Amino acid sequence: MLRLNEREFKVSDAYIQGTIKNGTLNCFIEVDTEEREFEDTCWEPNICHQGLVIKVSSWDELQGSSLNWSDSNDPTYKHPEIGILYVFGHAETVNNILTFGQIKNGKIEVKWSGCNDIFWDDEFGQNVPFELHTWLEIKNV
């Protein structure tokens, strides 16, 4: 489930794809949602991060780990790409907390929260809070 303010969206597809070499996972996360209509407008948000670099030697080591960053200008930000939430346009996610849970049946639980600019109206303008809680299919390359 992906929540933007109080609007909830069912996840239709979610995966993490990456390669582990020399104690580092280079990966990306992609999450699509089902379309919903609000006030005669279709919403179908997508959230992704296309360049995470995580110091782990195996997928199992991801369990229980957490990453947080304010935005890509944060001096501690070590990833080559940004987190992006798409609603009516692409915008960088900010104030991110990304937590990995347990692995079951080839999927890993993930929780990701932060804020994003949607630029729709007063309620969905700037710094709109989001929360994602889903299971990502693990695609090892």
Q: Which amino acid is at 115?
A: C
pLDDT at 141 over 90: no
pTM score, two decimals? 0.95
CA distances from 106 to 102, 103, 136, 137, 140 (A): 10, 7, 9, 6, 10
- 49, 84 contact by CB (below 8 A): yes
137: pLDDT confidence band, cut at 50, 70 and 90?
very high
Q: What is the DSSP letter of 119?
A: -
The dihedral over CA atoms of 60, 29, 33, 10, expressed in degrees to the nearest 10, equals: 20
- pLDDT for the residue numbered 95: 98
Q: What is the mean pLDDT of the chain?
A: 96
pLDDT per residue over 21-63, tens digit each?
999 999 999 999 999 999 999 999 999 999 999 999 999 999 9
Task: Supply the DSSP symbol for 40.
Answer: T
